[in-house]
Amino acid sequence: MKIAIASGKGGTGKTTLSTNLAAYIAQTHPVVLADLDVEEPNSGLFLSGSPIATEDKFKMVPSWDAEKCIHCGNCQKVCNFNAIISLPKIVMVFEKLCHSCYACAELCPAKALTMVPEKIGTLKAYKQGNLHFVESRLDIGQEMAVPLIGQTESWLNDHFPDALLLLDSPPGTSCPVIEATKDVDFVILVTEPTPFGLHDLTLAVETMTTLKKEFGVVINRHRETGDIVEQYCEQNDIPVLACIADSRLVAELYSQGKMMYKSVPDMQQALDNIIRFLHLPGGRQ
């Protein structure tokens, strides 16, 4: 089973929930947590383990052969991304702008462009007890997160085909989050009861509805009375899996990079509720 933990807006507690849920289940059962927020991966700050794999990840970009080039300018013409320009004496490739479509190379009449790998990031995997933790990190200056997210998912499918997989997804509603959630069985949307949280949740709900995903909501910094997110979910028949009360203690523990399920009873209760709702292993029965 694959579950994504996502949110419309950043900073709502996605990583807190992902890491606590993973560590909590791992007390008794095997589980894999993958951080797919490759631009700013944070799960690793809350977990430790022994490294079991490190792999550089690449995308393919064209490399120009001056000897073969006939300066026809076709490569520039077929590139939709301004990633290759043909000047009177030279062809220049801007690797970071390249989307690896291969059009310039395969349509070059002189075969003067070959596709070569360029590093975009690094995947690392760790193990501690029942918990496998996988993280991918985009190199600074690389603009495109999607290929790295896709390659990380393929790696997970190859190495953990039957595992319980928790995916800490990137925030937002655009291409990276779609890439991270398109193959999952369920999406947990983490939000907070402010107009910002509600506004971004409605966008996330729209996205998941478009993707035809099953989803539910976890309300972080929950308010006992007049919780606007709770009201919205009720009106729209969206299941609320759990609520975590607003407290300075939670904020302080988070700031120190500490796990919460052991010291915050509310968090443990919330994790139990999620486990029960999704029929996951572990937790207090």
Partner 1 sequence: MKILFTAQGTGWDAKVDPRFGRCPWLVVVDSETNELTAVDNSDSSEEAHGAGPKTSRKVVELAPAVIITGNGPGGNAATVLEMLDAKIVTGAAGKTLKEAYEAFTAGTL
Partner 2 sequence: MKEIVVISGKGGTGKTSITAALTYVGRGEILAADCDVDAADMHLLLAPDFGKPTDFYSGVIAKIDTEACISCGKCKAVCRFDAISIIDDKYVVSPLDCEGCGYCARVCPRDAITTPEQNVGQWFISTTRLQNQLVHARLGIGTENSGKLVAKVKAEARSLAIEKDIPYVLVDGSPGIGCPVISSLSGADYVVLVTEPTVSGLHDMRRVHQLLKQFNLPCGCVINKADLNPEFSRKIEGFLQDENIDLLARMPYHPDFTEAITQGKTIVELDGSELPEKIEILWNTIKSKLEE
Q: Which is nearer to partner 1, 143 or 162 (CB)?
A: 143
Q: Which runs of consecutive H residues, i.e. helices, occur in the chain?
A: 14-26, 74-78, 103-106, 146-159, 175-181, 195-210, 228-235, 248-255, 265-277
Could you say which of 154, 255, 279, 285 contacts partner 2 (CB under 8 A)?
255
Separation between Cα atoms, residue 214 and residue 208, nearest integer Å: 7
Q: Choose the stretch contacting partner 2; rule: CB under 8 A; options: 86-94, 158-166, 197-205, 263-271.
A: 197-205
Q: Which does 99 bind (CB under 5 to 8 A by kind): partner 1, partner 2, none?
A: partner 2
**With contact defined as beta carbons under 8 Å apart, do 132 and 125 qualify?**
yes
Does position 195 bind partner 2 by CB under 8 A? yes
The residues pairing with 216 across neighbouring beta strands, listed in sequence order, are 188
Q: Quick one: angle between helices 265-277 and 14-26, nearest 10? A: 80
Does position 254 bind partner 2 by CB under 8 A? yes
Hunting for tokens 């009449």 — which residue is that?
109
Q: Which does 140 bind (CB under 5 to 8 A by kind): partner 2, partner 1, none?
A: partner 2
Hunting for tokens 């998941």 — which residue is that?
208
Separation between Cα atoms, residue 248 and residue 181, nearest integer Å: 31
Could you say which of 24, 46, 215, 261 contacts partner 2 (CB under 8 A)?
46
Q: Which does 254 bind (CB under 5 to 8 A by kind): partner 2, partner 1, none?
A: partner 2
Contact residues toward partner 2 (CB under 8 A) are 8-12, 15, 39-40, 42, 45-46, 78, 80-81, 99-103, 106-107, 138, 140-145, 170-176, 178, 182, 194-196, 199-200, 203, 206-207, 210-211, 221, 248, 251-252, 254-257
